[in-house]
Structure 1
Amino acid sequence: MDNKRVFLMPFASVYPHYINKVEKKGRTKAELDTVICWLTGYDQLVLQQQIENKTNFEDFFNQAPKIHPNASKITGVICGYRVEAIEDPLMQKIRYLDKLVDELAKGKSMDKILRT
């Protein structure tokens, strides 16, 4: 996998796909934003600014106020890779987000998604 290509991809270009994925399964954009903010430490205003600024994934995660301490509890397979075994820290954060979006779309409760 070409990690650099993924890292330079604007978060804003993937975000609408996240929205479509969760809304098709009866979840909401607000729930998606809650999950993203939980993982990254962004608040709603700064998340929206990151989207409007077309921030790439590398900067999106590097500028995140604080990755949630329970993020390491996110486990399982995403895109054929065990998320807990991904060695590149940035790619692991991106896959954490993908895994959370999948869990939201699959109807998991917010308590379980947010590891509370």
Structure 2
Amino acid sequence: MQTTLSDVYALLILSFSVLSVLLLLVLVFLLKISYRLNRLELRNASLQEDVTAEVATVTKTSSREEASEFEKFLEEDGKRRMLSKREQAADFRDWRKQRGVTWGKDTP
């Protein structure tokens, strides 16, 4: 069985068409993956914004509470304001222990 020139052309056309269909499928698959990846990135970014906002709110609230506790501590005894920062911090820790208010690591 001999192959003629027309048979070779037919095989070439068939192989190019199959190859082009495969390339088209790969392109569609890659575009689909890209779309899904973008959606995941957007979802992740929005979740991170929510978490960041929540952490900022909690941090701001807790720092205000600690600042007000420290102000109470300083107002109880006017001499405490004259102490160095290190001495104020040490006395403040003791004051919190006496009141039963701890940061968690001070608990036995």
Both proteins in one fold, TM over 0.5: no
Relative to the length of structure 1, the TM-score reads 0.22
When you count helix as a share of all residues, which structure comes out higher? 2
Q: Which has the larger radius of gyration?
A: 2
Relative to the length of structure 2, the TM-score reads 0.23
